[in-house]
Chains A and B, each alone.
Chain A
Amino acid sequence: MKYITSLDGKEYLVEILDDRRISVNGQIQEIDFVSVRGQPVHSLIMNGKSYESYVYETEEGLQVLLRGRLYNLTVEDEREKRLRATAGAGAGTSGEFNLKAPMPGLIVSIPVNEGDQVEKGQVLLILESMKMQNELKSPKNGTVARLRVKPGETVEQRQALLSVT
């Protein structure tokens, strides 16, 4: 099975040869990969070197936390890569941003109104959790839409709060 894995704009061609060998950009590497089902902790011994890391799935791809450093990667198989190439590079950045609650908590205040023009970095909402007030900011310029919550409400993790179009 062949994959194209991207890290910091650089693409690596990775082939899973068998249980004990992979090839990265054509170089064969001996591996011993162990993971515990349902847990994001993985142990990899590659050419005798022992690494242990957390690997998290996010909406954008995979995050690898290795020795205190976080790597953001995307992994595609060849078919996906071709499909994406045909469709043209992702039109993602200009799309709609849906603000979801990053954790359960209490809406303290919403300093914006529906229809407001907001700038990248502007505070959209203040959420209190674990006795700390957290400012949730807009990742882009745009217009506030679909405001679904009110100050004083408690929200669940990942609950939709508002959108910026």
Chain B
Amino acid sequence: MQVYKKDFPIFSQTIHGKPLVYLDSSSTSQKPSCVIEAIAHYYQHNYANVHRGVYELSERSTHLYEKTRKKVQWFINAAHTHEILFTRGTTESINLVAQSYGRTHFKAEDEIILSEMEHHSNIVPWCMLQEQLGIKLKIIPVLETGELDLLAYEKLFSSRTKMVAISHASNVLGTINPLKKIIAIAHAAKVPVLVDGAQAFPHMPVDMQLLDCDFYTFSAHKAYGPTGIGILYGKTALLEKMVPYQGGGSMIEKVSFKKITYGQLPYKFEAGTPNMAGVVGFYAALDYLEKMGMKAIVQHEQELLAYATSKLKAIPGVRLLGTAPDKVGVLSFVLNDIHPHDIGTILDHEGIAIRAGHHCAMPLMEKYQIPACVRLSFGLYNSREDVDAFVAGMQKVHEVFN
């Protein structure tokens, strides 16, 4: 698996004279050459606006764009290509659903169920609806292990529950939530479920037919793809009933100042010139993932996680946050009275990139009564050597502070 690193040009450099050890893939992943080249090639050979031209370049561009949609459909096993919408990222996808579904389906006092481990992207859009419409948020508590309290979850439902919005995996705790169960409970109450899959997508197989969620979303930039591209999957029946989110070119059927009729799915939700190069580059990322094989990726990352967990536990003073049995390759911790930022700076000096902070999960920090924590997270390019470098870096932290 060590060989993966060769596919990623970023690793051919040193940082502060040390080989780069990148342990912040939950924040964003590095890009393999094939993705970088696909973007360049597109601009060099096939670039034009999509959906609109009668000329060759525009046809090629449209073909590449729609080919990605098909590939995403295949990858996540969606029933229809028109259920795959291109957005800027997970954040925009969730805002789209909150506004476009929420504004027409929710009213004051209606309730949305979230969890305590959500990323701000799956909190703030709903809080905005709280202010705009007077809806209420019900929060699934997180247990000390970092797992959701499912008993509490079941009790949150009422006749006013209109949506469950929940992450597939936590970006701080690593916990993989038992979605099948969560969704079954919601569906039994006739409540649709939005899944924030930002931390799950490139780290485990994701299957819309198996999950049966109503919306699913993730970001290409966390999945070895370009920035500025995300996916929103939605079931046809729900998407069709939603009003458009943004207005502009290509999402309309007919326009006059008196009346607009909107276009079909998926175009209804793709106003304006899209991030075409982002979409084309994402195809290459999906291709890469396919070639590497999801099974091998999962195995590799799980092995790393186990190795890193044991190493981390052996460091004196470390308190690990999130010890669920089912986790993605994310490890968060605090260390005695040493602030995460100081750890971050010292590790950086060793060429090691980790993240320190609240990780856009302030309510979770609140729950654990910490202002911030250190997080390391894996991509398929990481190796045991990276973990060893991290452990050696922690030794430096110890030296500086003692």
Judge: A and B partners, yes or no: no
